[in-house]
Amino acid sequence: MKALHKRIKEEGQALSQNVLKVDSFLNHQVDPELMYEMGTYFRDYFKNHGITKVFTIESSGIAPAVMTAMQMNLPMVTLKKKTSKILNEDVYQTTVHSFTKSVDYELTLSKKYIKADDSILIIDDFLANGEAALGAARLVEAAGAKVAGIGIVIEKSFQPGRKALDNKGYDVYSLARIAKLEEGIVEFVE
C-alpha cells in the first residue's frame, strides 16, 4: 500500500532493530483517511472469505479494524487486554506475551460476541513475533469458529511472526512488509 509506505518513510521513527514508532498516524494520533484506505485494502483482499465479523485487539488495531468492518458492513469486536469487572465468567481467555512491553496479559473475549458458525477476520496493527495474532486466533477457535484471515497493518518480516501464522495455515495479508529495521532505517520487502 503506497500511501502507508510513504507515511512510514516520512513520519515513522525506526528506534532500533525491533521498534518502529508510528504514533503520528496509527496509534496515538490517528489519520482517519489513511485508516479508511487501509479498510478498503483489507475489504478487497478478504471479500470472498465469507467473513461474518471483524476482530481486533485493543487498542491500536481498533481504527483500521472499524474501518474494515464498516466497509464490509460487519460488526467489529474488540478483544480486551485487561479483565473488566463487568465481564463475568462467560468469556474465553488466553495468555499472550507482549514483547514490546515485556508483560503477559489475559486476552479476553465475551462469549456473547462469537458463535461457532462465525468466520472471523482478525485485524492487528503490527506483526512481529505473532503472539497477539495467535492469541486472537486461539480465542476464535476456542469458540468453535473459523479464522478466515488475518490482516496486518505493518509486518516486521524479519521476525518470526509471519512464519508462525503461515505454519498454522492462516491466510495473512499485510499492507506494509518491512524487510529491515535499524535506527533511522526502514526497508520494505519488494
Backbone torsions φ then ψ of 24, nearest 5 degrees: -80, -15
> In the numeric block, which cell numbers belong to residue 189?
520487502
Neighbours of 74 (CB within 10 A): 16
Domain count, the chain: 1
**Tell me: the pLDDT tens digits for 133-143?**
999 999 999 99
Which residues are paired to 83 by β-bridges? none
Per 3-state DSSP, what percentage of the chain is helix, strand, and coil (rounded to 5)?
A: 35, 35, 35
Domain containing 173 equals 2-188
pLDDT in tens, 73-85: 999 999 998 766 6
Cell numbers placing 53: 465479523
Residue 73 is labelled as binding a ligand = no
27 is in an annotated binding site: yes
Q: Are the CB atoms for 124 and 133 separated by under 8 Å?
A: yes
The three-state secondary structure class of 137 is helix
Is 149 marked as a binding-site residue? no
Q: pLDDT tens across 18-70, in order?
A: 899 999 999 899 999 999 999 999 999 999 999 999 999 998 899 999 999 99
CATH number for the domain including 33?
3.40.50.2020
Distance (Å, rounded) from C-alpha 162 to C-alpha 14? Answer: 20
* Cα–Cα nearest to 176, from 45, 25, 6: 6
| 156 labeled binding residue | yes
